[in-house]
A and B are shown apart, each in its own frame.
Chain A
Amino acid sequence: MKLRISTVALTLVAALTASTSLAQEKKALAFVVNGASDFWKLAEAGVKKAQGELPNYDLQFKYPEQAAAAVQQRLMDDLVAAGVSAIMVSAVDPKSSTDALNRIGGQVPLFTTDSDAPDTNRIAYIGSSNTDAGKQAGEIALKALPDGGKCIGFVGLPGADNARERIEGMKSVIAGSKVELIDVRGDDIDMTRAKRNVEDALAANPDIDCMVGFYSYNPPRIYEVLKESGKLGQVTVVAFDEDPITLGGVREGTIAGTVVQDPYEWGYQGMKLMAKYLEGDKSVVPANELIIVPTKMIDKSNVDAFEAELKDRISG
């Protein structure tokens, strides 16, 4: 019995080695995300498009099995060991992973996306500016509430960088106006709690004027609660990201607008950038090492065009 198991194991190892060594003939570029979500499906589509234009590279798109820094770290170590030539990563916890990221960056060219790690030796960051995105959300709120009003925000992890930057960005724009953000409730990315937070906020502040959903799943929860309590259309909703329910609300006019990032471009441009960099063209990296792919404001006027583009990218 034991013998048979070890034979199987040997064959397996042999097969695996064979397949990796085949892959090694091309240079491999890896895009490592911070966890599983729909959002990254778009980036994956962008990477796929890039693959079509980079036949000499093997582009890999990697999900860690858990959204934990240690798991992601191990995944990157394995990739380096397997011989990838460059990595683009959305680090789970960039602030406390400086050493770990530096170690990876010391072995292969390292790029960051989604959340930056400016204190490391990463070559460049490509992605949105969450502060800018927050500012755009503030603009939507200002436009929708010309007479001012009170807003409550909902977010998964209030302490995370992306959440903080979005919130700060929004606050910087509405500062001085009559629109104010009185509280932001966190839910630890538990959808049940996310929905309950909205319900409780509505119960505690029946006269609230505006709700802001900072993470992609927050606006749908806001939408559902308002719909169930009959307040849809009475409370202004400002959204982030492109959940189908969010886009439906925008089209319906019950959500004032949503700020969307462009992960497709991150994937596409990011891969092309890495390839150019590896080919020796260092000019692709700007002096400030930041390549900002602007976020867009989507409202009733442009939602259909945006959705068509999304569909096209995911299926294409």
Chain B
Amino acid sequence: MIGRKDLGLLILILVVGTVVAIINPRFLSPINLSNTANLIGLFGIFAVAQAFVIISGGIELSVGSIIALLGVIFVDLVSSGALAPGMAVVLVLVLGCMIGMAHGLLVAKMGLQPFVVTLCGLLIYRGIARYYTEDATAGFPFGASFPVLEWLTAGRFYGVPHSLIAFLAITLVMGLVLHRSVFGRYLFAVGKNEEAARYSGINTGRVVIAAYVICCGLTAVAAIFIAMYTRSISPSSHGNFYELYAIAAAVLGGCSLRGGEGSILGVVLGTVLLQVLQNLVNLLGIPSSLNFAVMGSVILLGVIADRQFSKRKTG
């Protein structure tokens, strides 16, 4: 069932992993694997979310701002005791879905370009997040403890972080939705050829809206996990560029920015590679300023290799 693209990515991950492990064996230490797994979970959730919108032929640029806004609201509500953690979770998820609904309506019903809609979202939510706390950092006070919430979001089960478990569960469900469900098939059809989908009686508007709702809803889940990880959120910088991590993971994983292509497994592997790269920069003592450069180069190499490989295969 594993596609050619996914296989290539897996091999790349294994190669990079082996090289790092040889240079610094601590790469494979349980604590490091556990830490990396945690980050894969955090970043993977919203990368999978992004894939839905990209496959529909759109793009969601406001991911980072949504993570900041919802994170700020969540931490504020919980730390101030205004809402029980459970209620705060529900509220944040509902807010996420509402944001997605708004984006979907603007794109599908008003015919605005996804890039424009979500770019405006990026600015708007960042602004609201900063206004909400008047630019102050939202954080839990010293010693504040929410045992259940913390266990659920930041806990570890025999070293396996719960964020990873949540990510895997989400991946399984979303993989089923994308690759096995009627909705998933419609999503691919709309992404590839919206006109033909309409002529087949598919309510394309509803499919597009659903893609944005799923994307922003899952991003809200990620926002909670990330907020519980950092435990403090400075609204002006929290989540900056995270949309690019998500898009990069999706593209590495074989999603086409033209829509209609991609697989959940690919996005998962793309996220794994990105996080391994970040880990590598720290473990190998590469200057942290080179972080983004390493990431960009590997993505570029991966895409070029994939392109050459598929050319030789067809041509």
CB distance B233 to A203 under 8 Å?
A: no
List CB contacts (< 8 Å) of A34-54 with chain B: 35-38, 41
| Contact of A187 with B by CB under 8 A | yes
Contacts A63-B135, A244-B139 given; does A203 touch B32 at CB 8 Å = yes
In the complex, residue of chain A having the shortest beta-carbon distance to the beta carbon of B278: A196
Q: Report the minimal beta-carbon distance from A168 to chain B, rounded to whole angstroms.
A: 17
Name B238's contact: one of A191, A203, A245, A247 (CB within 8 Å). Answer: A191
List CB contacts (< 8 Å) of A168-213 with chain B: 183, 185-197, 199-204, 206
* CB neighbours of A244 from chain B (8 A): 139, 141-142
* CB neighbours of A224 from chain B (8 A): 231
Contacts A67-B236, A191-B233, A192-B230 given; does A203 touch B288 at CB 8 Å = no
| Contact of B232 with A by CB under 8 A | yes
CB distance A197 to B142 under 8 Å?
A: no
B interface size (C-beta, 8 A): 39
* CB neighbours of B287 from chain A (8 A): 158, 186
| Contact of B315 with A by CB under 8 A | no
List CB contacts (< 8 Å) of B15-32 with chain A: 24, 26, 29, 31-32
CB distance B279 to A200 under 8 Å?
A: yes
A interface footprint on B26-40 (CB within 8 Å = 1, 0 otherwise): 100101100100010
A interface footprint on B122-136 (CB within 8 Å = 1, 0 otherwise): 000000001000011
Q: Report the minimal beta-carbon distance from B237 to chain A, rounded to whole angstroms.
A: 5
* CB neighbours of A243 from chain B (8 A): 137, 139, 232
> Measured between alpha carbons, how far is A224 from B150 in the docked complex, in Å?
12
* CB neighbours of B154 from chain A (8 A): 228
> Measured between alpha carbons, how far is A203 from B30 in the docked complex, in Å?
9
In the complex, residue of chain B having the shortest beta-carbon distance to the beta carbon of A186: B288
Name B288's contact: one of A36, A37, A185, A191 (CB within 8 Å). Answer: A185
* CB neighbours of B288 from chain A (8 A): 158, 185-188, 197
> Measured between alpha carbons, how far is A185 from B237 in the docked complex, in Å?
18
| Contact of B143 with A by CB under 8 A | yes
| Contact of A221 with B by CB under 8 A | yes
> Measured between alpha carbons, how far is A171 from B310 in the docked complex, in Å?
53
Name B226's contact: one of A188, A192, A220 (CB within 8 Å). Answer: A192
CB distance B282 to A196 under 8 Å?
A: yes
* CB neighbours of B256 from chain A (8 A): none
In the complex, residue of chain A having the shortest beta-carbon distance to the beta carbon of B67: A192
Contacts A35-B236, A190-B240 given; does A203 touch B35 at CB 8 Å = yes
| Contact of B277 with A by CB under 8 A | no
Name A190's contact: one of B137, B141, B237 (CB within 8 Å). Answer: B237
Contacts A217-B232, A228-B154 given; does A185 touch B282 at CB 8 Å = yes
> Measured between alpha carbons, how far is A186 from B282 in the docked complex, in Å?
10
> Measured between alpha carbons, how far is A221 from B230 in the docked complex, in Å?
7
CB distance B234 to A248 under 8 Å?
A: no
CB distance A192 to B42 under 8 Å?
A: yes
Contacts A/B (CB < 8 Å), 20 sampled: A36-B234, A36-B235, A36-B236, A66-B236, A159-B289, A190-B237, A192-B42, A192-B229, A196-B279, A197-B288, A199-B35, A200-B35, A200-B279, A203-B32, A206-B29, A217-B232, A244-B142, A245-B232, A247-B142, A248-B141
- Taking Cβ atoms with an 8 Å cutoff, the residues of B that contact A are 24, 26, 29, 31-32, 35, 39, 42, 130, 135-137, 139, 141-143, 154, 226, 229-238, 240-241, 278-279, 282-283, 285, 287-289, 291
Closest 6 CB pairs of A and B: A248-B142, A36-B135, A200-B282, A203-B32, A186-B288, A191-B230
